[in-house]
């Protein structure tokens, strides 16, 4: 009986940017209706090498992707009923075929795993699934009086964009507080602005469109109660705060909280404390994301299972390519071209696409857990020095 919906069977993992030119991963599979046959095939055929593996059900669908430092050891663990995770038992009970692909090293397997999860979206994988986390961005709108707002889909026309962040409700509350503290408008873009220094043919009798000016949380650009310069000054102060270059607001809030507490105005102290906690959480996350990208632009040399060194070209937290170090003039020219493309020709953007977030977090976590590995990394300029030593060597 034919299915109502077309079914596409798994036909291979496909190409990857994480494989250096010249590296051919070994691909193999084991098939069996029962776990005993799968286990026997793994025991015989699976290599003790790093790589990624996939579980395929009886319909031919890829239901899980994993990574391994040793493929044989990791896959054999699925058949140890007494010690395996309950989820592993559910996966293997639905598996008819196990496939694997070797990698140059554990780091390559880690990046390749995420790449495949994002490509195939296997139903038993949770981390790395596109759309699993609903990211939001904090954006500054367009002139004449930009305001801070939250969106899931930036258009690219915003004055500035920060994120991505998790938790729409919490981020919206932080944005509301920031608009109040920096006295920016939060009304619709359709609201007409009339700055104090804006000339008009006729004298206008303007009044604020809401109560925020009366309670001192808006400069009132809609009613000519501030100049463009005044509004721009507050706007720049907000940008400095979000960029992490000016933390004075946090200090002021902490001072106000301590003063209210000392004056036994405990309700006021709690209100200020909530503002402080919200904004600290927001800025710490933004600064962390910014540093995760800025601090991870280098070349990471790593010796693989075959004792060959691979250069991972990491730019703003993304593994852009993998390549073997130059050994002669021809390979030096090839590597130099990659470096130019990634570290010179690449156009920097402040907006981090949602699909890149998990990759940036993965790279940052790798080096956070392995501090000694960070000391091995080369700046692009130092790698060019290595290239220069091979540039004039013969191609053979």
281, part of any domain: yes
pLDDT for residue 126:
78
pLDDT for residue 381:
87
pLDDT for residue 163:
84
Out of 89, 120, 151, a domain closes at 120
238, part of any domain: yes
- Please give, one letter per residue, the 3-state secondary structure of 82-115: CCCCHHHHHHHHCCCEEEEEECCCHHHHHHHHHH
6, part of any domain: no
Quick one: which of 130, 129, 179, 128 has its CA closest to 150?
179
| Whether the bond into 359 is cis, omega within 30 of 0 | no
Q: Identify any residues that bridge with 299 across adjacent strands, giving them in sequence order.
A: 313, 378
Domain shared by 212 and 288, yes or no: yes
Structural domain harbouring 187: 135-293
pLDDT for residue 351:
64
Q: What is the CATH number of the domain that holds 89?
A: 3.40.1440.10
The mean pLDDT values, 10 residues at a time, for the chain of 396 residues are 56 91 94 93 96 95 96 96 90 96 97 94 76 80 92 88 89 95 89 80 67 90 90 95 91 95 94 94 89 88 95 93 92 91 69 76 92 93 85 62
| Whether the bond into 200 is cis, omega within 30 of 0 | no
Phi, psi of 228 (to 5 degrees): -60, -35
Out of 247, 275, 293, a domain closes at 293
Give the Cα separation of 312 and 318 in Å (integer).
10
User: How many domains does the chain contain in total?
Assistant: 3
Out of 120, 144, 162, a domain closes at 120
Domain shared by 358 and 286, yes or no: no
16, part of any domain: no
Domain shared by 141 and 259, yes or no: yes
Domain shared by 142 and 274, yes or no: yes
pLDDT for residue 1:
41
Place of tokens 């000054």: 233
17, part of any domain: no
19, part of any domain: no
């Amino acid at each position: 009986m034919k299915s109502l919906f077309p079914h596409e069977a798994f036909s291979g993992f496909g190409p990857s940017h994480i494989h250096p030119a010249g590296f051919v991963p070994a691909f193999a599979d084991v098939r069996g209706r029962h776990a005993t046959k799968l286990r026997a095939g793994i025991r015989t055929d699976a290599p003790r090498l790093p790589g990624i593996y996939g579980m395929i059900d009886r319909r031919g669908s890829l239901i899980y992707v994993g990574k391994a430092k040793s493929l044989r050891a990791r896959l054999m663990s699925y058949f140890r009923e007494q010690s395996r995770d309950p989820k592993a038992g559910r996966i293997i009970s639905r598996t008819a075929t196990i496939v694997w692909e070797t990698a140059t090293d554990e780091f390559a397997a880690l990046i390749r795993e995420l790449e495949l999860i994002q490509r195939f979206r296997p139903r038993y994988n949770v981390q790395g699934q596109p759309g699993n986390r609903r990211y939001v961005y904090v954006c500054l709108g367009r002139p004449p009086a930009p305001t801070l707002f939250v969106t899931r889909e930036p258009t690219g026309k915003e004055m500035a964009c920060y994120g991505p962040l998790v938790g729409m409700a919490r981020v919206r509350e932080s944005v509301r507080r920031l608009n109040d503290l920096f006295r920016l408008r939060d009304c619709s873009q359709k609201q007409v602005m009339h700055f104090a220094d804006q000339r008009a043919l006729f004298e206008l009798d303007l009044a604020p469109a809401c109560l925020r000016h009366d309670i001192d949380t808006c400069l009132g650009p809609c009613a000519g109660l501030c100049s463009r310069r005044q509004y721009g000054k507050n706007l720049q102060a907000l940008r400095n705060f979000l960029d992490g270059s000016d933390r004075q607001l946090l200090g002021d809030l902490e001072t106000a909280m301590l003063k209210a507490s000392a004056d036994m105005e405990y309700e006021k102290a709690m209100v200020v404390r909530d503002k402080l906690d919200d904004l600290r959480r927001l800025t710490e996350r933004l600064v962390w994301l910014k540093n995760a990208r800025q601090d991870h632009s280098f070349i990471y040399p790593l010796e693989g299972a075959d004792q060959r060194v691979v250069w991972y070209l990491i730019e703003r937290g993304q593994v852009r390519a993998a390549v073997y170090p130059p050994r002669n003039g021809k390979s030096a020219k090839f590597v130099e071209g990659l470096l130019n493309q990634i570290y010179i020709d690449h156009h920097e953007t402040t907006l981090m696409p949602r699909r890149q977030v998990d990759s940036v977090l993965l790279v940052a976590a790798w080096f956070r857990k392995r501090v000694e590995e960070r000391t091995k990394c080369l700046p692009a300029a130092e790698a060019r020095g290595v290239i220069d030593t091979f540039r004039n060597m013969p191609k053979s």
